[in-house]
Structure formats: C-alpha cells, structure tokens
Amino acid sequence: MTGSINSIKISLPTPFPVGDINAYLITDDPLTLVDCGVHSSMSLEALTQGIRAAGFAVEDIERIILTHAHLDHAGAAARVSQMARATVLMHPRAYPLLYRTEDNMERYRQLFSQCGIPAAILEGWEQSRSVWKKLGHRDEALYDMQLVNNDDLIPFEHGNLRVLHTPGHCPDHISLVDDNARVTHSGDHLLPGITPNPLAYFDEENNGRRYRSLPDYLTSLDRMEALKLARALPGHGDIIEDIPAVMENNRRRIFKRREDFRALLQQGGHTTVYDLARAHFGDMHPMQTYLTVTEALGALDLLAQQDALVLDEESDLIRFTLKPEE
C-alpha cells in the first residue's frame, strides 16, 4: 500500500555552533526515528518529551535510521537503541566512523601536519575533540544493527523510504527519499542557509587515501537534483520548501570560494594549506581551524579537478602549484 509517510520534527540541543539538530519521528508502522542527537541528559530528555508529545514512548520505537555518524546526529544511537530495543540502520561506512574513531587519529595527525598546522593548534584540536567524543557514548553497543546501501528500500505500512547515498559532508551520509511524496530526509546534505563542510575522511578500501569530499558533495548534489524533489526535511533548521534554490545557493558559495582560493594562489606567498586557510578565514579556534583547513582542501581539490592545479600529497607538506592559464 502506498500513501503518505508522516513524520514529526523533534528539536534536540547540542553544544556545537550549528545549534539544535532535527530528529524526525516517523509515525507510520513500524515507528521509526531518523537521527537521535548527542548522548547528553538534556538531549535525551528533549527526545523523550518530543516522542511523548507525539503520543508515544521511547520504548515504542522499533527502528532508528542514521543519516550519518556525526555525534550531533548519532551520538545517542546506542543508548536509545538499548532503551527501545530498536534496530539501528546505517550506511556500511558509518559503523567504523561511529565506533572505531581512534583508528584514524594517526592519519589525521599526518594530514594536518602536511597541511602545515602548527603543533600547538593541532594539540588544541585533539583536546577539544577528546571532550566532544564523550557525547558519543561509544562504550555502549547498539542493540541491533542493519546496514543499508544506495537504492535500498526501507518499508513502512504506507510506502517506502529509498536510501540515496549522498557522500560529501562525510562518506557515509545517506538521504531518505519518499519517491511517492517527492520528499527527502536530507540530514546535513541539504541545509537552509548553510553549505555543509566537506570534512576530511580516509578511504579504508583505497590505502587510506583522502576522500575528495567537496567534489563528492557536488556529485551527490547533482544526483539529488535529478530527482526533482519538492521538500526536504533537513538535519538542522527549517523545512526546505524550495530545494532548487538551496542547491543553487550551495553551488554559488562553493564556486565563489574556489575562485577566492584561486586568487590567493595567484597572489603567491602562501606555502601551506594552513596559510591559505588563514589568509581566507583569519585565525580561528583550534576546532574551527580543522573546518577551515578542510574547506581549503576542498577548494584545492576542485581546482585540481579542473586541471587548473597540480596537487601533490606525497611529501611532508602538501604542495600545490597553479597551472598557467592558456
């Protein structure tokens, strides 16, 4: 039977600059929660109250779908799944990000050293990260888990949600598409007024090679645009009623930033990715430095994709050379 798959937005507090995240309670059968917030008493209480206001209890939830493994969306996954005895659905790339975070710390240290981030700032980033990790409660196991891939259908009584793999913000990101209603749960892939940061991740199936996150994001944007969806239920902010406008704004911001970095390279004098990031964004808190450096890497990746830049990551420092215009 096909029809409407209804969902209720529940705002959950986070300590992050992005603010509250949106969890969604899908009230069709089986009762399903899309994302679940950080593992904190404030967030869990807000989630409990939101579910109760919808006429249910946490224990009624049968499934939890994670759009991606970031702490603000998935930090409470183990706790909530244990409370509800619910199955957690996620992309195969999400589980190692959620539960094996220490595996890649040495790679991050190497990458950020290659970017020229000073040791003191790198240490500050690691300290901030160790504090925020507590919001994930990773010492508790998921009650049950199911991996989902692109184009898999997640069935409900009144229709299906189709999994659309939308990497870019992170490699495990999925959006959930109701083809019948032309609606998507977009997680952090589409956000009102914000272009998702192309964060740094490593491809375990390709010798730990760094994902080209920003080119991946633009490809995912193209794939979603082809679906001609009407509405998006984002992971932060208000419901998106004009998806094409958000996509166009995202592309415009991304391409402008690419050209800003091209101009910095033409000026010369910037020898590291960190120097480029500082020249564009200014000096930032160590945690923000991580974000600005990944934005700089994303712009360099786009220039390299255009064949406008030679990007060498094999040395102690990442080297980049702008090709002369023909």
The reply to whether 255 falls in a domain is no
The reply to whether 307 falls in a domain is no
The reply to whether 58 falls in a domain is yes
The reply to whether 322 falls in a domain is no
What is the pLDDT at residue 185? 98
What is the pLDDT at residue 137? 58
- The packing angle between helices 77-84 and 41-53, to 10°, is 50
The reply to whether 283 falls in a domain is no
What is the pLDDT at residue 1? 39
What is the pLDDT at residue 131? 67
The reply to whether 319 falls in a domain is no
Where in the chain does DSSP place strands (E)? 7-12, 21-26, 32-34, 63-65, 87-90, 144-147, 153-156, 159-165, 174-178, 183-187, 202-203, 209-210, 231-234, 309-312, 319-322
Which residues on neighbouring strands pair with residue 159, listed in sequence order?
156
Asked if residue 296 lies in contact with residue 273, where contact means CB atoms within 8 angstroms, the answer is yes
Spell out the per-residue pLDDT of the chain, length 326, in tens.
Answer: 345 789 999 999 998 888 999 999 999 999 999 999 999 999 999 999 999 999 999 999 999 999 999 999 999 999 999 999 999 999 999 988 887 656 677 888 899 999 999 988 888 877 777 666 666 655 689 999 999 999 999 999 999 999 999 999 999 999 999 999 999 999 999 999 999 999 999 998 888 899 999 999 999 999 999 999 999 999 999 999 999 999 999 999 999 999 999 999 999 888 999 999 999 999 877 778 889 999 999 999 999 999 999 999 999 999 999 998 76
The reply to whether 215 falls in a domain is yes
Tell me the residue range of the domain where 239 lies. 7-133+141-249
What is the domain-level CATH number for residue 146? 3.60.15.10
The reply to whether 208 falls in a domain is yes
What is the pLDDT at residue 306? 95
pTM for the whole thing? 0.94
Name the nearest CA neighbour of 166 among 181, 153, 176.
Answer: 176
Please count the other Cβ atoms lying within 10 Å of the Cβ belonging to residue 291.
18
* Rounded Cα distance, 276 and 185, in Å: 35
Number of domains in the chain: 1
Give 145's DSSP letter.
Answer: E
Residue 22, φ and ψ in degrees, nearest 5: -100, 115
